[in-house]
Structure 1
Amino acid sequence: MLVAGLIFAAPALIEGGSAQAKDVVVFAAASLKNALDDAGAAWMRDTSRRVVFSYAASNALAKQIEAGAPADLFFSADLDWMDYLASKNLIRSESRIGLVGNSLVLVAPKGSTIQVALQPGIDLAPILGSRRLAMGHVEAVPAGKYGKAALEHLGAWEGVKDRIAQADNVRAALLLVSRGEAPLGIVYKTDAVSDPNVTIAATFPTGSHPSIVYPVALTRDSTNPDAVSFLAFLRSAQAKPLFEKQGFTVINTAGSGS
């Protein structure tokens, strides 16, 4: 799990009492870290209220919420895991909104001379050599699922399916490339621009994978009125540039204010 640059509390620690009753507790996809750290700092500065974040893969966070971990907001990297919690009646459906979008890229370590044309028939195996392709877990982590879909669409999956270094979340996959432990990785554009030690080798065609939409919603059991306020802030004109700075596309806003 990633440690937030702002205020961080893992679910087990929150459960044990590290977050006070007044804190807004947000479970968010790892790829949102930079943008949400900035948004949380701005909201706390404006309101003098507190927000704590737990960052991990969306699938892990959804399962933790299902198991009773105390979260006020869930911010997923894909629709499937929000739908999963909705099917369990664990979110407030009326509060749900698809807030931001992202794109999928192929990254290489900084200074790499690898050039890739992501077109139908591409074979990544010769480029990988004896090494592996880093990506999120392809059956659970949203970035991994998008990546597998894109590789299948391009006809490249069969050539690399046994050569995948599967990570617990997208930032962990990014780290493998950033450290030079993998020659290529599939991550979101926002992750790539956040790490100066990687370079974007290619961008996956939009139609090669499902649209990348990040939904956010209040959890069913949240009783914190400040959570409503923070969600409104995330949808505000004030928060929009904080997401755009990290490379997200803002899909929905709801006026200004917090």
Structure 2
Amino acid sequence: MLCAAGCGAQAPSDQQTAPQQQPAKPAETTLMVSAAASLTDALNNLKPAFEREHPGVTVTYNFGSSGKLASQIEQGAPADVFLSASKQDMDRLEEKQLIAKDTRLAFAKNELVLITAGSSPLALASFEELGGDAVKHLAVGEPESVPAGRYAKETLEHLKLWDSLSGKLVFASDVRQVLTYVESGNADAGIVYASDAAISPKVKVIATAKPEWHKPIVYPGAVVAASRQADTAKAFLEYLTSEKGKAILQTYGFRE
């Protein structure tokens, strides 16, 4: 009976149940995006949405004037994506084979506007009136490195005002600094993008430059040739030009 009971007992299994494997975490990747200063607010808004759809990816921005960012890339500064506020600066890198040419695309457009502080008492209604005595200091981006400054110079040259205003010009290192000069009252007026004016409650738009006064304001983007994560960089550009990306850009005053 004891034998039967003992023999009838179930023998322990020689095989242990294997623990369930945890799903592998996505590899951590930092994506460095060098972008024109005018894109600051739109891209900061886009960042969490992109990161949610791409687990493991952290987007880091380097904002500045397009000309200076292009120079940094020429000098070997780390960057995976370059988003420029002008065709000229992107052309420069393409000629030197510093971007992946097949990834280059235009993702936004903009307009040039004349602004004053919201509380300014200036009786100013147009670009043409800058030739009068009302404005003592006019803030613009440095034309050599800031696309907004380049477009401003083209506009003022078209209106035959550039030379006569030379003593009143206050040059800024990027378009956001122009905005700050006007907001703070350090300049009576300034020339910025419509998207910059749209994000500031402290300024008012006096006039919009006619398209024929300056070269088209088109924003090109591309993967930097030296990027070690070209696929992720391409994914970022694709997101930027997706319906979600376009909606974010339009919220901040950019146009298709």
Q: TM-score of the superposition, structure 2-length normalised?
A: 0.85
Partner Cα separation in structure 1 for residue 163 and residue 28 of structure 2:
50
Secondary structure (helix, strand or coil) at the match of 1:28 reads strand
Secondary structure (helix, strand or coil) at the match of 1:158 reads coil
Partner Cα separation in structure 2 for residue 231 and residue 98 of structure 1:
10
Secondary structure (helix, strand or coil) at the match of 1:77 reads coil
Q: Which residue of 2 aligns with 1:14?
A: none
- The equivalent position to 2:36 in structure 1, one of 29, 34, 58, is 29
Q: Is the 8 A contact 1:125 1:160 kept in 2?
A: no
- How far is the alpha carbon of 1:111 from its aligned partner? 1.6
Secondary structure (helix, strand or coil) at the match of 1:90 reads coil
Secondary structure (helix, strand or coil) at the match of 2:250 reads helix
Q: Which residue of 2 aligns with 1:116?
A: 125
- The equivalent position to 1:229 in structure 2, one of 232, 235, 238, is 235
1:175-209 deviations in Å (ceiling 9; x for gaps): 00011110000000101111111111111111111
- The equivalent position to 2:97 in structure 1, one of 71, 89, 105, is 89
- How far is the alpha carbon of 1:83 from its aligned partner? 0.5
- The equivalent position to 2:74 in structure 1, one of 61, 66, 77, is 66
Q: What does 1:41-80 align with in structure 2 at a 5 Å threshold? A: 41-48=48-55, 49-80=57-88
Query: Residues 147 and 46 of structure 1: is their aligned pair in 2 closer, same or farther, counting only changes over 3 Å?
Result: same
CA RMSD of aligned residues (A): 1.4
1:213-254 deviations in Å (ceiling 9; x for gaps): 00000000112121121111111111111000011012xxxx
Which of the two has higher C-alpha Rg? 2
Q: Is the 8 A contact 1:118 1:205 kept in 2?
A: no
Amino acid at match of 2:127: L
Q: Which residue of 2 aligns with 1:213?
A: 218
Q: Which residue of 1 aligns with 2:8?
A: none
Query: Residues 60 and 38 of structure 1: is their aligned pair in 2 closer, same or farther, counting only changes over 3 Å?
Result: same
Q: Is the 8 A contact 1:59 1:141 kept in 2?
A: yes
Q: Which residue of 2 aligns with 1:244?
A: 250
Q: Is the 8 A contact 2:104 2:220 kept in 1?
A: yes
- How far is the alpha carbon of 1:46 from its aligned partner? 2.2
Amino acid at match of 1:90: L
Secondary structure (helix, strand or coil) at the match of 2:116 reads strand
- How far is the alpha carbon of 1:86 from its aligned partner? 0.7
User: Unpaired runs of 5+ in structure 2?
Assistant: 1-26
Amino acid at match of 2:165: V
Query: Residues 39 and 123 of structure 1: is their aligned pair in 2 closer, same or farther, counting only changes over 3 Å?
Result: closer
User: Unpaired runs of 5+ in structure 1?
Assistant: 1-19, 251-258
- The equivalent position to 2:147 in structure 1, one of 132, 142, 146, is 142
- How far is the alpha carbon of 1:154 from its aligned partner? 1.2
Partner Cα separation in structure 2 for residue 213 and residue 190 of structure 1:
13
Partner Cα separation in structure 2 for residue 30 and residue 192 of structure 1:
13
Secondary structure (helix, strand or coil) at the match of 2:126 reads coil
Amino acid at match of 1:42: A
Q: Is the 8 A contact 2:74 2:98 kept in 1?
A: yes
Query: Residues 69 and 237 of structure 1: is their aligned pair in 2 closer, same or farther, counting only changes over 3 Å?
Result: same
Out of 173-182 and 105-114, give the one that drifted further: 105-114
Q: Is the 8 A contact 2:36 2:83 kept in 1?
A: yes
Q: Which residue of 2 aligns with 1:155?
A: 160
Q: Is the 8 A contact 2:118 2:204 kept in 1?
A: yes
- How far is the alpha carbon of 1:116 from its aligned partner? 1.9
- The equivalent position to 1:194 in structure 2, one of 196, 199, 204, is 199
Sequence identity of aligned pairs in percent?
37
Q: Is the 8 A contact 2:67 2:144 kept in 1?
A: no
Runs of 4+ in 1 over 4 A off after TM superposition: none
